[in-house]
Structure 1
Amino acid sequence: MKRIALKIDVDTCRGTLVGVPALIDLLQRHAASATFFFALGPDCSGREAHKSSPSRHYDLTTRLSGLLLPAPDIGARAADSMRQTLAAGFEVAVHAWNRVLWERRVLSADNAWVEAEMAQAWRRFEAIFGAPPLAHGAAGWRMNRHALRLTQRLGLCYASDCRGKYPFFPVIDGEIVRCPQIPTTLPTIDELLLLGAASADQAVEQVIEASTTISGDHVFTLRAELEGITFCDAFERLLATWQEKGHRLVALRDLLAARNVAQLPRHTVAFAEIAGRTGPRMLQGRAFLEE
């Protein structure tokens, strides 16, 4: 029986207020678990409207946020929706403070900027949930060396900051980071649409095929703004099909629950473009010290 962990990125104010409650209802009806990664600060999604292809699936208000309209403070306006997620039994974690700015700057940002962004997200998360976060999922799978170091320094149980095949300890520039990574293993619906899928339903078929033909457990990343609103019907069909195949739909923490984390393999990380997205993303590389 395969386990498929559902990683839900919540990028915008509307996604938090509208997409998250819809996803909670959908997941509960299917007895599925998931991990919600929340953006906690300003919603500047409008600034990427002409640069980030998934934005064409967003509603008009979201596409103007932070551009022609003031950037709403997601954590201030949507804290109740976030707490509802935890109260419903789902795992909650940090996505970013300012998601758009993180994706744009982190690859070349200095240490002070990275620390300030993560500190703001940590403080807001703790103010909303009453406890510090135990996991981090980088916006756009974009990180740098210092951000990786901070996942260890902040005492996280795990992070999900990259694309790859299975859980591992990351190694960057020869430095082992003692915070395991649980990478996204499957393509996303919006990526497949950009690569030529004629519809969300066709993209779902491709996700199902990938999850079937590639062995092992999987992590599927979805967005509250897309699968929770625009692609809701297609996502429900994906859930139903996985369950018909006998797969367990779990939170990311469940992939580590029965493992000896200390024995996870060590892999270098690389930065490269992936199909369906522009710009470098963090990837699971070769086994460390592999000949």
Structure 2
Amino acid sequence: MDSFVLTQSSGARAELLELGATLVSLHVPVGDGLRQVVLGCDTVADYERQAAAMGAVVGRCANRTGHGLLAIDGITYELEINHGDHHLHGGERGFGRRVWQGHVRDDPRGPSVRFTRTSPDGEGGYPGALKVSVDYTLGHDACLWLEYRAVCDAPTAVNLTNHAYFNLGGEDLLDCKDHVITVQADRFLETDVEQIPTGGLLSVDGTPLDLRRTQRLGDGLVSTDSLITDVSGFDHGLVFSEGRVREQEVARVVAPDGRLAMYVRTDQPSLQLYTGNFLAGTPARGGGEYGAYAGFALE
């Protein structure tokens, strides 16, 4: 199993692993030094035993499929049940648990690695074979590009994401509560009490999910609204405002010390904001364990 390191002249450095096509580490320049901004484990064995999808590419379908039932063209497929009564992140051996094949590639934007794998027909219960790839490219100014491709040989479902947890304060900051966030989303995905989508989209107006105005993550986490208390924090699909320009900035997060900011651009219609509500006990660098809210994910 191979690992890869992407570096820039600024000192920015990304480390990647074939297991799960995982983003293991990301150091970015801050002042006259470098800051680690991605949570990670010490060893491959730790990545294999952790249950938080740390830094991995998850699929075929990220997040939850109710009761594992997937309907395509009048046919209902039964996906693997691995999260209570439901299907999560492609199953027990989803893409984040598989070994991908990585190779260095040329890209004018900077050093780049492409990971590929073929998911066979029936894997996790999904129909059809699926050839997938993800490119990681480290550009100037510590810009990290992630680009996904998928080709199927039969009608199927695919919804890939990277599940990195970020803490822009560095490894000494124990939680993400003092990060300041903005997300340009005016609707969110309605879910039932088990976080299964109903198919409805609701307005964020008047809810703690209205992040169009900058706020501390911690201020949202103490909300008594059931949207927050039912899932112990943020774990919501936020749908970007209609009429936005493709690949414009959709989210911004600023470190507690104000010295580092993360900007997110995408051509996708939404993101899932997760504040690591159940990270407690996940193996951490240095032989310890992460606590709840140690980092946030923008899936």
**Could you tell me the TM-score, scaled by structure 2's length?**
0.31
Higher relative contact order (CA 8 A, sep 6+): 1
Question: Whose strand fraction is larger, Structure 1's or Structure 2's?
Answer: 2
The structure with more radius of gyration: 2
**Could you tell me the TM-score, scaled by structure 1's length?**
0.31
Question: Whose helix fraction is larger, Structure 1's or Structure 2's?
Answer: 1
